[in-house]
Structure 1
Amino acid sequence: MVNFYSAVWSFLLLSSSVWGYANPGACSGTCVNTHDPSIIRRSDGTYFRFSTGGKIAVHTAPDITGPWTYKGAALPSGSSINLGGNQDLWAPEVALIGNTYYLYYSVSTFGVQDSAIGVATSSSLDVGTWTDLGSTGIRSSSGKAYNAIDPNLINVNGAYYLTFGSFWKDIHQVSMKSPPKTVASDSTAYQVAYDSVKTDEEGAFIFKHGNYYYLFYSKGQCCGYDSNKPAAGGEYKIMVCRSTSATGGFVDASGKACTNSGGTVVLESHGNLYGPGGQGVYDDPTHGPILYYHYVNTNIGYADGQKQFGWNTIDFSSGWPVV
């Protein structure tokens, strides 16, 4: 009988580890100041982390684990886009196109649809080398079917697409010119994800693995947990849909369309990790594909300024990302 109970307990422990979420990977150095992180690795092996606030805060490290060191602001003069919020830039996205790095960013204010997506360029990623080019031509205002924030660029065989959007009809996409400084002249924004019940999807990131393009996005309340904590389950979580095309047809693990309230949970609150989101995916040379994001450590505090940098390796063996 003792052996029976021991076997049951071992099974329960194993089940917990299989069906639960892994804790975030190691992080040392400056692991805060990391809202909406964007990670890129330079050819010399230096990791750069760009994040919301501080006119796009820049941190570097020799490894994804750190130690992360603050280097300064990517755009110390703010954005040339003449909109409210042009000194408090959001949701950076960094990509290497040829020999040039592109930094996309959002100009907006919280809860307002009057927003724009800008872009800057650099040859090295270093602080002090970024040139602001201003607007990409993606702009929203009251009454439009989208909000122009949270940009993400994907290159599909030399064709460039920018995916973006938030709580106004959720996530959209446009074609970009080559090089991708502005919207293609014949492109109109089209929807790639939408929850008709509760429009609270944003922060899109498209990552190709195998034969599929995976659309990762954040769902729920992002911020203000210290003053306005949502009901359980209403906080940020990371979702995914997939498609064989980067431009649409995304469905969740049950086959439900991402444009019809579909979506499969990748990572949500567990243990002392709360409200993970603002995510991206990077194919790390050491760890393989990793999901990176910000989160609240409930043992530290719920304030936006206390959000931590998190990352986990991703297992795609089932055809769906598991952390």
Structure 2
Amino acid sequence: MTAPLVWACASVSEAREAGRNQTIVAGKRPISRIIGLLLPALLAGASSAPAQTSRSTPPSLAPLSGDIAPVHDPAILRQGNTWYLFTTSQARDGKGLIHIRTSKDLASWTRAAPVFAEMPAWVKDAVPGAAGIWAPDVQFLGGEYRVYYSVSTFGKNRSAIGLVTTPSLEKPVWTDKGLVLRSDASDDFNAIDPNAFADAEGRQWLAFGSFWSGLKMVRLDPKTGLRSAADAKVRAIARRPSPGAIEAPFVIRRGGYYYLFASFDFCCRRSESTYYTVVGRAKDPKGPYLDREGKRMLQGGGLRVLHADLDAARRFVGPGHVAILREPKRDYIVYHAYDTQARGVPTLRIQPLGWTDDGWPVAL
């Protein structure tokens, strides 16, 4: 198939200049009031209409401010009373690799020290020419914070996923564990866009993939976070018929189901980006994942959760590469979208995530 164009922002330094000090402004009505008005209608229409068609303009969680652009491929996690956001980074930016931002309220974001000062040594041999670290994923597993990250070059599947860990995010001491998984021209998949999760039985999995033959999954060793030696099988979990693009899996477990979020179509084209987010679910973490109409994600299925067409203001386009933040009282969907009022800079977006009576997610 035709190789993809890009996955990371085409000009990070230019985008940062365009997006510096950009602020996302929520509507004037209080978020609790908006959700209170929208949610009953969503739930009432859940059994007869697609989840995304039964709501009006989705509100922002709160006015987002600070260092929120450029932000690409966000991953998020909370330790104590601080949220930590990890994003794609490029070596040419000169500010380290795997950028981190922090917030005390999910609204105001400040840059913190990056994970790496420079590219890990093992990358030079594994992926020659790699000049950035893409699409990190952060999870608390095995009693430590594990950040999975990917290295690649544009349009090729000579790629690799690595792992770096720390016992704490408040005062991190990073230990790079090196290679977890790799791909090359002999493979029908691309080893980028990792997402780790644990199933109900305590097994740990790594979902990953971008373009090529779609999204895959491998078992992890719970003790080390590295790929399981006992089960090395690469399992397919989602794909789209060519030329449809799919990437960036994110899996959560809720109410007896595993939900697989994925990004369709094309990112990284600024205001011309066509990225959007879909979801399917399965009783087994290995699948099959089905959408609301019963179509398998291995056959291109997926219920729309985020799409530019669902934003009446049409300011932010190409919403995708999501992470789901699970808080005690509410879930949130965290993603990047391209700000048409700031030359298409990729910008952090956060919305509450509601659930219909029949168990499907709705970005509020």
* TM-score band w.r.t. shorter chain: 0.7 to 0.9
% same residue: 31
Pick aligned residue for 1:241 from 280, 289, 301? 280
Query: How far is the alpha carbon of 1:199 from its aligned partner?
Result: 3.8
* Larger relative contact order (CA 8 Å, sep ≥ 6): 2
The answer (yes or no) to whether the contact 1:36–1:293 under 8 Å persists in 2 is yes
Pick aligned residue for 1:280 from 313, 317, 323? 323
Q: 1:5: which partner in 2?
A: none
Q: SS at the partner of 1:322? A: strand
The answer (yes or no) to whether the contact 1:169–1:199 under 8 Å persists in 2 is no
Distance 1:203 1:20, change over 3 A: same
Query: How far is the alpha carbon of 1:30 from its aligned partner?
Result: 1.1
Q: 1:60: which partner in 2?
A: 102
Pick aligned residue for 2:349 from 298, 303, 310? 310
Distance 1:221 1:17, change over 3 A: closer
Structure 2, unmatched stretches of 5+, are 1-40, 43-51, 91-96
User: Which whole-Å CA distance do the structure 2 matches of 1:148 and 1:17 have between them?
Assistant: 34
The answer (yes or no) to whether the contact 1:59–1:69 under 8 Å persists in 2 is yes
Q: 1:190: which partner in 2?
A: 235
User: Which whole-Å CA distance do the structure 2 matches of 1:21 and 1:110 have between them?
Assistant: 35
The answer (yes or no) to whether the contact 1:160–1:180 under 8 Å persists in 2 is no
- Superposed, 1:1-323 pairs within 5 Å as 18-26=54-62, 27-42=64-79, 44-54=80-90, 55-65=97-107, 67-79=108-120, 80-81=122-123, 82=125, 83-84=127-128, 86-126=130-170, 129-136=173-180, 138-156=181-199, 157-185=201-229, 186-225=231-270, 229=272, 235-269=274-308, 270=311, 271-285=314-328, 288-302=330-344, 306-318=345-357, 319-323=359-363
1:64-103 residue CA offsets vs partner (Å, 9 max, x unmatched): 12x2110121111222322135441000001112431101
Q: SS at the partner of 2:132? A: coil
Q: SS at the partner of 2:280? A: strand
The answer (yes or no) to whether the contact 1:74–1:127 under 8 Å persists in 2 is no
Matching residue's letter, 2:360: W
The structure where helix makes up a greater share of residues is 2
The answer (yes or no) to whether the contact 2:65–2:109 under 8 Å persists in 1 is yes
User: Which whole-Å CA distance do the structure 1 matches of 2:263 and 2:228 have between them?
Assistant: 27
1:239-294 residue CA offsets vs partner (Å, 9 max, x unmatched): 101111111110011100110111111010132110001101011245x0111100
Q: SS at the partner of 1:96? A: strand
Matching residue's letter, 1:254: E
Structure 1, unmatched stretches of 5+, are 1-13
Query: How far is the alpha carbon of 1:125 from its aligned partner?
Result: 2.0
Q: SS at the partner of 2:182? A: strand
User: Which whole-Å CA distance do the structure 1 matches of 2:171 and 2:133 have between them?
Assistant: 16
* Matched length: 297
The answer (yes or no) to whether the contact 1:168–1:199 under 8 Å persists in 2 is no
Q: SS at the partner of 1:259? A: helix
The answer (yes or no) to whether the contact 1:71–1:127 under 8 Å persists in 2 is no
1:93-144 residue CA offsets vs partner (Å, 9 max, x unmatched): 01112431101000101111100000001011257621111101x1111131
Deviating beyond 4 angstroms after TM superposition, the runs of 4 or more aligned structure 1 residues are 14-18
User: Which whole-Å CA distance do the structure 2 matches of 1:299 and 1:199 have between them?
Assistant: 28
Q: SS at the partner of 2:355? A: coil
